[in-house]
Amino acid sequence: MISQWQLRAAFAARLSEMYGREVPAYTTLVDVSREVNEDVLRAQGADAERLGSISRVTAERHGAIRVGTPAELAQVARVFGALGMRPVGFYDLREAAASAVPVVSTAFRPVDGEELARNPFRVFTSMLTPADPRFFDADLRARLETFLAGRELFPPELLALADRAEEARELPDADAERFLQLAVSAFELSTEPIDKTWYETLERVSAVAADIGGVRSTHINHLTPRVLDIDELYRRMTERGIEMIDTIQGPPRWKGPDLLLRQTSFRALAEPRALRTPDGQVTSGALRVRFGEVEARGIAVTREGRALYDRLLTLLDQRTAAHPGADRAELAHSLWTEHVPGTERELAAQKLGYFTYHLAPDRPRDGSRPPEALDDLLAQGWVRAEPLVYEDFLPRSAAGIFQSNLSDAGSRDNDQQGAAYDSDWLSGAMDRDVLDPFALYERQQNQSLAQVAAELELHLT
Ligand code: OOG
Ligand code: NI
């Protein structure tokens, strides 16, 4: 029998192999990430593993896929459900970007601490929004929906195996093998010729719309390794002559604790694709839709911590606008230094970050009673706090990543009202709850506190 987490780990590994064959630059990114991680581990020792063991971090990936309809999204949810991955968070990329990205997204990922530690594979999953009149007029919407309704992304055999795996939380070896083959091939780049005219019609709205609705299958867009020093990675990739996007998205580099998520990518590569022209000829063209992304993960923040982050981004935008000559990264650095607590202890005390709490192995053993307040337990060495790593995504960064890999801004008619999509809508489309990331971190934190309280026979205050 192959258990759910083994299926998940095997799927991530095979997807990585497949994608490495399709996009060799990805292999370079993985190699350079590994080198950077080894160097950081050598330089920092145990500190380097504060937000995950080196084995977790080395194997860690997130994928990005894009689908066209609620029905397709519901099928994706079954495939990932088989791997113990649940939809977490709602991201509206239609609002976040200056240019047009007509999608809404969620991330499928494991949610339990133990499952995350075994293999944290996650997939940022976007769904096209044909019903949004800012992007698609009635005629194009109708053509798009007809086109999408006529395609099959996932064969029925795959979905049947997925349902069995989700229900039993394991599969017999032979079925697991079949499931993995079908699941990986569902995300391969198709060689089927693309209708050039149709693709270009959608491209005028958005390159992302064309990538999703212009073809009869889906594919993995990128697979993102995790690195412990993203600034160093950026330098080394640039040294190798790989063209990176202009910036690292997310919080700046600074002296305090790493928070949330920092991401960057290399530019989408021209990949050969077969195109069918209106006269029926098949020619070889090139499309730039897939890019290579890399990320560094920091501590998960509370709602208050997140509000602070969002406030600082707004301030940063204002300061950047007010000082056109200034370096945005430097402005960000000074804003951070001014407003963000510089230590984990302060983050926890101000309830800005999530931590789990554990009995300290070297706690007092002189028969004294432990204090009742968490602050005192920490200060007097009874309890230790371990930061929770951020397992999710950032809408503004995601929009920036989408955007910086589009050569054309596309079009959006801002005189129209946008179609309403939200987390509940997405839940309904999949018939599965889209989980609230804050609630998941909070649950982990509370469980650890309850356990500490039980072990010390305390009512924690
Ligand atoms: C997703 C873009 C966003 C991230 O990690 O935030 C993203 C896509 O290109 O499909 O990958
Ligand atoms: Ni990504």
Nearest to 335 by CA among 403, 252, 452, 459: 252
Cut 0.90: pTM above it: yes
Q: How far apart are the first and last CA of the chain?
A: 45
Burial class of residue 21, CB neighbours in 10 A (0-12, 13-18, 19+): exposed
Domain positions in the chain are 2-299+391-430, 305-385+448-456
Question: What is the pLDDT, as a whole number, of residue 418?
Answer: 81
The residue whose CA has the least distance to atom 8 of ligand 1 is 64
Residue 98's pLDDT is 64
Between strands 170-171 and 2-3, the pairing is antiparallel
Residues with CB under 6 A from ligand 1: 64, 66, 124, 126, 221, 263, 293, 393, 397-398, 401-402
Top-tier CATH class for 2-299+391-430: alpha beta
**Which-ligand-closest: CA of 91?**
1
pLDDT of amino acid 411? 80
Strand locations in 218-352 (E): 222-225, 261-276, 282-297
If you measure from the C-alpha of residue 395 to the centroid of ligand 1, how many angstroms do you get, rounded to a whole number? 9
Per-residue pLDDT of the chain (461 residues; tens, 9 = 90+): 999 999 999 999 999 999 999 999 999 999 999 999 999 999 999 999 999 999 999 999 999 999 999 999 999 999 999 999 999 999 999 876 666 699 999 999 999 999 999 999 999 999 999 999 999 999 999 999 999 999 999 999 999 999 999 999 999 999 999 999 999 999 999 999 999 999 999 999 999 999 999 999 999 999 999 999 999 999 999 999 888 988 899 999 999 999 999 999 988 889 999 999 999 999 999 999 898 999 999 999 999 999 999 999 999 999 999 998 899 999 999 999 999 999 999 999 999 999 999 999 999 988 899 999 999 999 999 999 999 999 999 998 998 888 877 777 778 888 888 888 999 999 999 999 999 999 999 999 999 999 999 999 988 77
Ligand 1 geometric centre to CA of 124 (Å): 6
Q: Tell me, what's the pLDDT at 76?
A: 98
The closest ligand to the CA of 125 turns out to be 1
- Tell me, what's the pLDDT at 97? 60
Among residues 1, 169, 166, 5, the alpha carbon closest in space to that of 82 is found at: 166
Ligand 1 atom with the shortest distance to the CA of 62: 5
Closest C-alpha to ligand 1, atom 1 = 64
What is the whole-number distance in angstroms between the Cα of residue 64 and the centre of ligand 2? 5
Euclidean distance between CA atoms 282 and 40, whole angstroms: 49
| Ion ligand 2 nearby residues (CB, 5 A) | 64, 224, 293
Using the atom order of ligand 1, give the atom closest to the CA of residue 295.
Answer: 5
**Which residue among 263, 293, 396 is best mutated to probe the pocket of ligand 1, counting the most ligand atoms within 8 A of its Cβ?**
293
Q: Is the ipTM of this complex over 0.95?
A: yes
Strand locations in 376-452 (E): 383-387
